[in-house]
Chain A
Amino acid sequence: MNVLKNDPLVLPPLLSDAANSESALKKFLNGLAGVDKVGVEERVAKLGTRSIKTTAKAEGIDLAIRMIDLTTLEGMDTKGKIKTLCAKARRPDPQDPNVPSVAAVCVYSDLVSIAKENLSGTTIKVAAVATGFPAGRVSLAAKLQDTSDAVSQGADEIDMVIDRGAFHEGRFLDIYDQIQSIKQVCKSAHLKVILETGELKTYDNVKKASWIAMLAGADFIKTSTGKVQPAATLPVTLVMLQAIRDFEMATHRRIGMKPAGGIKTTKDAMKYLVVLKETLGDKWMNPDMFRFGASSLLNDLLMQRQKMKNGAYSGPDYVTVD
């Protein structure tokens, strides 16, 4: 566990003043160095070509499985669906008890108690999306209520969305204040802040939003809800990881990262792990600091794992249906 996680956030003087007023925050964010778009995209393209094979791949697959937030966020989710999801989270491959459990299941806030029940006796966390997910277009009171509902049902982690409308209007302090209020309601639950990078449009915006979230006390920053295209991409993830690195250098506080949405294959997952390792290093190479928000990724990882074990390519008939 990262011991720094639950310490109260104490910022060094320069940063603690950053959010004193709307104008101070704007000044601070505009003072951040711009993102080199071409450089970022070239960097991830290069890292993406790195070849991960044999034992490294086997370890990467198991690590990726342990990092998954197994997610179902559909309007049609039922108690039965959550039950099967939890069973899969505990033992992803019924044929092979050596497959590790995933990090967490991620559900809508009203289903937290069902998930909690079905995961009792395990270390698998329950994450709840709250604050009017996915659009976040509800009043602050409703957001706080949504969050405290999830927390009171036992959610270990809260995935909140930021107000993208406020971001585009330049009301950065409103976003900051909202995150802080939600953080207070979370109590001991970890707070992941979803930036919805697909709606932020530019890398510079992603960087700014990352800083707002981290300054306001986020434990994790997360790319997307999965409901907007594009969802997680490698370049956006790199920009956020670099923001996390800069934040750590300034504050000695480690923020976690969660790319979510659109990561479907083992190859994708390996690329993310390479970018993570090259940007933040070994301290982040564990489920406490990095998560994949995904559902179909797990089956692809299991099929690759079976392939490495049996020597023959596996197929969707040999993994459970989501």
Chain B
Amino acid sequence: MATGSRSEIILEELTAVVLLTLMGAAAIGMARQRNLYGVVLLSGIYSFLMATVMVVLDAVDVAMTEAAVGAGISTVLLFGAIHLTGGTESKPIHRPWLPLLVVVATGAMLVYGTLGLPAFSDPGAPIHQHVAPRYLTEGPVKTGVPNVVTAVLASYRGFDTLGETFVVFTAGIGVIALLGRRRPRRPLDKSREESKE
């Protein structure tokens, strides 16, 4: 089924492996870095790496969105928030042994779970058997759009996308409600309704 030559396939896999390794390194760097400006820069790098991985994985629409939204808007939002709240993280009081233990245990379980999953790029995997062939053959004919992702997003799952815009709209209202009206600072006890157990 593979149309590319053997060396092309190896190159493709190698690119993905290198990029994924870099992403892992960037994520670990983010966990260790205490200067929040550095963390946000790393997260921008991480997002661009993710966008590149998406190109390698043939998800070009996702790559474009991730580069614009993940690396662009998110970074701007984070820088704005850091500007308003201060840029360094204080040192933790205690070593994070318990979270580390939980994370390692969960990760080990998840890795054990992946052993039962189909191999990367296995054409017989269940994901390639059900609706995808139908979208690929019927989508362009029925909707007239050669880009199947656009066809599914705007036509087959149009209401889904409409719901998504509602989510974004709600979040926008939330941000305006939180930051829009600046009141003078009041003592905390009066501004909260205490419900004692």
A, B bound = no
Chain A contacts to B: CB under 8 angstroms: none
